[in-house]
Amino acid sequence: FSLQDLSDALRAQCATAGAPRPGDDDARAAPLRLRQPRAGAFAAAEPEGGSSASQRAGEAFFNGSAVVVDDVGCTPGPVGRLTSELSSCLGVHVAADAWLQQIGSGESASSDASVAMRPWPRFLLQTHGRRTWHLASQRTWEPLEEGTQQAFPRGASVTLSPGDALFLPSHLQLSSESIGDVPSLHLDVGLQQQRLTWAALVSLVCRRLLLLASSSLEVCDADREVAVDVDGVDAALVAEAARVRMLGTSSLGPSRYQDAKSAPLAAFLPAVLQQAACVPGDLPAGMIEDLEGRLRGVLRRLRRVGHLGRSVDVRVAAGTGRVLGAEGVPLRSLVEAACDASDGALREALTWSLGELRWRMAEEALPSGCDFGSGEAFSSLARWHGHKRAGRSALLRRAPHARPFLQGGAGGEAFLWMGGLRRPLDPELALATRWALGRWTGAKGRPFEVLHVPGDREAAQRAAEMLVVSGALEVVPGG
């Protein structure tokens, strides 16, 4: 990643006004931020008069400001390929910001804690200059309000030179300072798994059980997205990671359905879920049972050692698009209800929650403006039409980097999620689509011909063509 790459990314981002980022309150994230040398705070940089944003950034940097370009991974180039590959492998949204800072510029965590600490793990990749990072001796699980000034006990200090990388766990405060006689440029690559942790899963399970057991919930004037986004329950459970460490992770641990070939990603919940074409119909055999056992263990430990005296507001998605909610619910009552739930009730809540997590991943798969598709999809489509004209049966397989998700079906409305977009799906094609896209069921990710698809042959042909056009399936070259 070079200064020229940064310049190109800045021009591309300012031309589109920035791509939306998951979790942002504002749907249009500022592509460029400037830190004034003395004020310490960041401000979004907008073009002034006839100057472009890139010119504005150059002037600000010349005058001593730090320049931060958000989401440089949403542009073509090496960083775009890096973030795309990581997202595809890990099943989480990966975003990269570029930080260009002047010689000798410092960064105080006490004056900018919201920037220094993130609720997700990240890599710091130094590409130019040198920078020393001072890390806190322990993680801070309680949320910090933006602008909050809070000193932290220092632990290790690490100096990065060009080519060095540093992994940081989530919720770790830090400060830094550039050293040497050249400006510092580094990439902050965030693995945004905060909505896919055990805290998020436990939160969804508790809300689902409350919905099934309570008649006192009221209809809320809120979008369905609010019910599956970070809310008071999520934040309270994340804070408990200080006592129940697993809540802050997305680890599955060793399971009987994992093997040496699929490890280590098979032990990472998002990496397994994002392979599933539908939930729970396309999950590894035994996964629900393994998760249920681990969930019981997390809940029991949370009841035993957790600080559960706080109250939270609860929102939960119900049928027909409604959102129900209750205010001031004791956190202890939610945890105890989950601990005491019957096996059947807990399994139903867990299955529903996994579906919600998979829906989150489908929605965030490739945010608008971050399209890294190559010409392979067009080549595959050309091969498909060539086989049709020749009257031959094509050999098909799920595209290697495709993460399709089939939502609904079974006689009702059905949708196919691809690249963060939701497409209506003819219910008559749902069965064939589910079989063709199956990772652990159906085709199981292996090559197949349309004649192998169970059910109506015409529906299978239509489903296959639709999936090739959408890029979910590809025609095997030479097949």
Give the three-state DSSP class for 15. helix
pLDDT per residue as tens digits for the range 150-184? 678 888 999 999 999 999 999 998 888 888 888 88
Which has the closest alpha carbon to 399: 414, 419, 421, 371? 419
Amino acid 112: pLDDT: 41
Could you give the C-alpha distances from 469 to 215, 381, 464, in angstroms and in order? 46, 6, 9
Q: What is the DSSP string of 55-90?
A: HHHHHHHHTT-EEEETTGGGSSSHHHHHHHHHHHHH
pLDDT per residue as tens digits for the range 42-97? 555 554 544 565 666 677 777 777 777 777 777 667 787 888 888 888 888 888 88
Tokens 């890599």, located at residue: 123
Helix axes 331-339, 232-239, angle to 10 degrees: 80
CA atoms within 13 A on the CB side of 417: 22
In whole angstroms, what is the distance from residue 96 CA to residue 368 CA? 15
C-beta neighbour count of 161 within 10 angstroms? 12
Walking along the chain (479 residues) 10 residues at a time, the average pLDDT comes out as 64 43 39 53 49 65 75 75 84 86 57 61 91 91 66 88 93 87 88 91 93 74 52 87 93 67 72 92 91 95 95 81 82 96 95 91 62 63 89 91 82 82 89 94 94 93 93 87
Beta bridge partners of 417: 405, 422
Amino acid 104: pLDDT: 63
Amino acid 478: pLDDT: 78
Tokens encoding 110: 């006490």
Q: What is the DSSP string of 345-412?
A: HHHHHHHHHHHHHHHHHHHHSS-TT-----THHHHHHHHHHHHHHHTPPPPEEE-TT---EEEE-TTS
**Whether the Cβ atoms of residue 214 and residue 326 lie closer than 8 Å to each other:** yes
Exposure letters 283-314 (e unless 16+ CB within 10 A, then b):
bbeebbebbbebbeebbebbbeebebeeebeb
Amino acid 15: pLDDT: 42
Amino acid 413: pLDDT: 82
**Whether the Cβ atoms of residue 475 and residue 387 lie closer than 8 Å to each other:** yes
Give the three-state DSSP class for 266. helix
Amino acid 151: pLDDT: 76
C-beta neighbour count of 408 within 10 angstroms? 15
Phi, psi of 108, deg, nearest 5: -100, 125
Could you give the C-alpha distances from 371 to 12, 19, 74, in angstroms and in order? 13, 11, 8
Amino acid 18: pLDDT: 36
Q: What is the DSSP letter of 325?
A: E
Tokens 């006192």, located at residue: 216
Question: Is the backbone peptide bond immediately before 22 cis, with ω within 30 degrees of 0?
Answer: no
Tokens encoding 189: 């690559």
Amino acid 79: pLDDT: 80
CA atoms within 13 A on the CB side of 124: 29
**Whether the Cβ atoms of residue 120 and residue 169 lie closer than 8 Å to each other:** no
pTM of the model: 0.84
In whole angstroms, what is the distance from residue 332 CA to residue 304 CA? 11
Tokens encoding 470: 């959408």
Amino acid 7: pLDDT: 63
